[in-house]
Structure 1
Amino acid sequence: MPRPAHRLMLAAVALTAATAATTVVVVLPAAPAKAETLQADRQPDRQPDRSGGRKGAQPASHRLVGTWSASTTRLAAALGDQTVRMVVRTSVGGTGMRIRLSNLFGSAPVTFRGVHVGIQAYGAEILMGTNRPVTFGGRESVTIGSGRAVWSDPIPGKISGGSDVVVSFHVPGNVQGVTGHERAYATTYLSEPGDFAADEAADGFTYTSTQWYFLDRIAVGAPKTTRSVVAFGDSLTDGAGQSTDANRRWTDYLYHRLVRLPANRRMGVLNAGIAGNRLLHHDAGPRGVGRFRRDVLTQPGVGTVIVYEGINDISRGYYTSAAPLIDGYKRLIKMAHARKVRILGGTLTPFFGFGTWTEEREEIRQQVNKWIRTSGAFDGVIDFDKAVRDPEFPEQLAPAYDIGDHLHMSDAGRRRLAYTVDLRRL
């Protein structure tokens, strides 16, 4: 039976939310503009969702660039006439912000009412005067069919990079089989029955979750030279090991580096990690080779993708060689090059001491890493393995980078991954 989105409505567990307030001037109410409804195949892991963002009302000198994303799947969750309030952090700043709501994995249409966007003050509270209505084709509500996703109208005004954007909407009726992201590592706030989306106060929100629901992309208008980089992977990219609301994924640390560059060199940083995901087999979410087009190549303004996925295939699989994984990487490379997207390969990091490690699996990891380093198939190599392994015992993580399970990384380890990326290759 699907669980309610707030982890059982009658017995929710309160989580702390200590995200600092961000003083950013947002956006005036959106002027009506034609909504963009995006059809996706009923088997979205096998077909690209046609979700390239339109420029809408952007100036001719600008284009739509992704500033935040989350890869989605079907959650064992349910909503019952509730308001959802989520907090996400932008990367690159820009104008005419647009959000995308997705029902790609739903089995029935879902209606969203009273959609609002503001800036977080603290917890579920919104900075006074920033909570603004969002329209879809000029309307204040939108119904999204199964297998579809919809971009909002552009919201006039500017949004800064690093803003803690709050997206609120009311979902009337009962919805089961929610499209969303399982491990947000961020607090989502849910209300008692009713529409509280326009409220800047937090009073109506009595439950919490650590999932994101329906929201999967945010984009902004930026100069035509601005691009985004997508990090494609599993829990190591998704952010396993960080505290809730910490924003310490390795992609967050990468953004910290990029924001220090001159304005004309900054990029959007998009996280396409799914904890437990595998490159070749459906497990936690659609398999990587199936979701790559949708989660990477249809992102607005994508210029580069970093592939850091495959350790779950090795640690949970029964391969006798690296050949299947190498074939999978070649498929990703072919797809990226067909879209003129630069693709960088990240070597797979150690997992000696993790419960599924064996000598045979270690040998396959070494074969995969040798191919990534020497084949020349990727447009560039990021040697994550070399960066975080123990110099005295390279089959395992260095102690400072190990969160304790010998697979996932500490804050220092995730930061080390980000600082291993050569920004000139992006």
Structure 2
Amino acid sequence: MARPAHRLTMAALALAAGGATAALPTAPVHAESLTAASTATVRLHPTSSATQSPAAASAGQRTAAPKPGGEAPVRRRLVGSWTTSTDRVTAALGGQTVRMVVRASIGGTGTRLRLSNVFGEAPVTFENVHVGVQAYGAEILAGTNRPVTFGARTSVRVPPGQAVWSDPIPGRIAGGSALVVSLHLPGTVRGVTGHERAYTTTYLSDPGDHAAEENGEGFTYTSTQWYFLDRVAVEAGAATIGSVVAFGDSITDGAGQAVDANRRWTDYLRQRLAHESPSRRMGVLNAGIAGNRLLNPNVGPSGLSRFYRDALSQPGVRTVVVYEGINDISRGAYTSIKPIVYGYKRLIREAHARKVKVLGATLTPFYGFGTWTPEREEIRQRLNEWIRTSKAFDGVLDFDRAVRDPEFPEQLAVAYDSGDHLHLSDAGRRALAYAVNPRLL
């Protein structure tokens, strides 16, 4: 069972009632049709609501009515608060309820969830979806579990290869909230879209619909995968400047941490940015896949093929941190850095074409790991020098310098090594977060 959370802390993060809503399109939205480039807006008047066009829903922008006294209207837009990168996962689901816990990186109103069947082979029906705030384990804080609708309906059928956003959920969530999303799956699902290494407990029920229940008594099984849910976004005010996407492999995904610890380097970055100036609030989105490679598919699609879907199509994306390539080096036979440099340049072009800033992170040491060789170390060193000096990226995050052993820079400092000489300890992941210059974001 998940580590209990303090009830008083969670109570402070409860969903608050109220807030204007606007409906999203009733048809499923394709996973790669949501671009941050659209600028359509909808104006909501004080005594009425409006239905957004598909373009406006994709952009997630709207302007609230002018305040009394002639104050300027408050412009709000959809910004990513949580994400995970998906693939097809091995799972047998159906006729039961799935209850997942995810942590919102920023708060806001009009929360939306996205359910994905991108890697599915057949349509998937979701019934009686609910979202609440975690008390502990599978239990939801009393009074916070709310129904989620899709085109004003309580169920939605998502075709294979597609994903769908929910309608806005009334109320406000706070940044750092542990949200509990419950999905009832009335039929058997083969070909499950999900995330293999969530490092978070997911609760699975006995047969039946337990989505609306706030107690966790109906959930008797657990896993450490996420299923179908791949995004949470909120309507954020002008103080939120957008979101930063961490695009990477297992070091970004969170390898080395305990289950339910929430100690990915992106979790530490979220905590750090929460103490920054209110004018620089950002969503922090983790698009890491353990085992992923930049150039070729291995675990999950290659970084090149998933970059648009997992990074550039995120609502409100402002910056992407590219921290990927160590699996290409450590398991490849490259004699030149040119193929990986080509891959980086392609990602940079794609990001710049959509006016998204892209930062390059140097690759951290792996001396002592089973696949290390002097030849692979030379490629890593040369590639890091290119990242630092080429000026191809909009900025550089020197993760290598942050965690390497000053006396032996080919290896991780002992305090930052999880024990396998590749993945980082909690202290090492924290060091990455504090190596980020917030002004670059």
State the TM-score, normalizing by the size of structure 2.
0.89
State the match for 1:10 in structure 2: none
SS, match of residue 163 in structure 2: strand
Q: Which amino acid aligns with 2:158?
A: I
Q: Distance in 1 between matches of 2:96 and 2:22?
A: 26
Whether 1:213 and 2:232 are equivalent positions in the alignment is: no
Q: CA deviation at 1:83?
A: 0.1
What is the percentage of aligned positions where both structures have the same residue? 67
State the match for 1:338 in structure 2: 353
1:64-143 maps to which residues of 2 (within 5 A)? 64-143=78-157
1:41-98 deviation per Cα after TM superposition (whole angstroms, max 9, x unaligned) = xxxxxxx454653427773610000000000001111202110000000011111000
SS, match of residue 25 in structure 1: coil
Please tell me whether the aligned partners of residues 24 and 165 of structure 2 are also in contact (alpha carbons under 8 angstroms).
no
State the match for 2:218 in structure 1: 204
Whether 1:18 and 2:20 are equivalent positions in the alignment is: no
Greater mean deviation of Cα atoms: 135-144 or 224-233: 224-233
Q: CA deviation at 1:19?
A: 3.9
Whether 1:422 and 2:437 are equivalent positions in the alignment is: yes
Please tell me whether the aligned partners of residues 34 and 315 of structure 2 are also in contact (alpha carbons under 8 angstroms).
no
Q: Which amino acid aligns with 1:391?
A: P
Q: CA deviation at 1:18?
A: 3.1
Q: CA deviation at 1:367?
A: 1.0
Please tell me whether the aligned partners of residues 158 and 164 of structure 2 are also in contact (alpha carbons under 8 angstroms).
yes
State the match for 1:8 in structure 2: none
Greater mean deviation of Cα atoms: 53-62 or 146-155: 53-62
Q: CA deviation at 1:202?
A: 0.4
Please tell me whether the aligned partners of residues 60 and 315 of structure 2 are also in contact (alpha carbons under 8 angstroms).
no
Whether 1:246 and 2:261 are equivalent positions in the alignment is: yes
For 2:300, which of 254, 260, 285 is the aligned residue? Answer: 285
Whether 1:34 and 2:39 are equivalent positions in the alignment is: no
Please tell me whether the aligned partners of residues 32 and 138 of structure 1 are also in contact (alpha carbons under 8 angstroms).
no
State the match for 2:60 in structure 1: 55
Q: Which amino acid aligns with 1:55?
A: G
Q: Which amino acid aligns with 1:181?
A: H
Q: Distance in 1 between matches of 2:205 and 2:30?
A: 30
Q: Distance in 1 between matches of 2:183 and 2:120?
A: 17
Q: Distance in 2 between matches of 1:81 and 1:377?
A: 50
For 1:375, which of 390, 402, 412 is the aligned residue? Answer: 390
State the match for 1:191 in structure 2: 205
Change (3 A) 1:103 1:172: same
Please tell me whether the aligned partners of residues 126 and 201 of structure 1 are also in contact (alpha carbons under 8 angstroms).
yes
1:277-301 deviation per Cα after TM superposition (whole angstroms, max 9, x unaligned) = 0000101100001100010110000
Change (3 A) 1:119 1:58: farther
Q: Distance in 1 between matches of 2:152 and 2:63?
A: 17
Greater mean deviation of Cα atoms: 415-424 or 215-224: 215-224
Please tell me whether the aligned partners of residues 62 and 77 of structure 2 are also in contact (alpha carbons under 8 angstroms).
no
Whether 1:263 and 2:278 are equivalent positions in the alignment is: yes
Q: Distance in 2 between matches of 1:221 and 1:31?
A: 10
**Number of matched residues?**
405
Unpaired runs of 5+ in structure 1? 1-14, 41-47
Q: Distance in 2 between matches of 1:18 and 1:69?
A: 23
Greater mean deviation of Cα atoms: 257-266 or 184-193: 257-266
Please tell me whether the aligned partners of residues 403 and 413 of structure 2 are also in contact (alpha carbons under 8 angstroms).
yes
Q: CA deviation at 1:32?
A: 7.2
Q: Which amino acid aligns with 2:23?
A: A
SS, match of residue 293 in structure 1: helix
Q: Distance in 1 between matches of 2:420 and 2:5?
A: 27
Q: CA deviation at 1:199?
A: 0.2
Q: CA deviation at 1:355?
A: 0.2
SS, match of residue 294 in structure 1: helix
Q: Distance in 2 between matches of 1:39 and 1:232?
A: 21
Please tell me whether the aligned partners of residues 61 and 77 of structure 2 are also in contact (alpha carbons under 8 angstroms).
no
Q: CA deviation at 1:176?
A: 1.3
Please tell me whether the aligned partners of residues 21 and 110 of structure 2 are also in contact (alpha carbons under 8 angstroms).
no
Q: Distance in 1 between matches of 2:110 and 2:356?
A: 25
Q: CA deviation at 1:38?
A: 1.5
Change (3 A) 1:156 1:57: farther
Q: Distance in 1 between matches of 2:133 and 2:153?
A: 22
1:203-247 deviation per Cα after TM superposition (whole angstroms, max 9, x unaligned) = 100000000000000000012452100000000000001110010
Q: CA deviation at 1:424?
A: 0.7
Q: Distance in 1 between matches of 2:172 and 2:35?
A: 23
Q: Distance in 1 between matches of 2:429 and 2:79?
A: 25
Q: Distance in 2 between matches of 1:76 and 1:51?
A: 30
SS, match of residue 217 in structure 1: strand
State the TM-score, normalizing by the size of structure 1.
0.92
For 1:393, which of 395, 408, 414 is the aligned residue? Answer: 408
Q: Distance in 1 between matches of 2:425 and 2:316?
A: 31
Q: CA deviation at 1:39?
A: 1.9
1:241-274 deviation per Cα after TM superposition (whole angstroms, max 9, x unaligned) = 1110010000000011100022221100000000
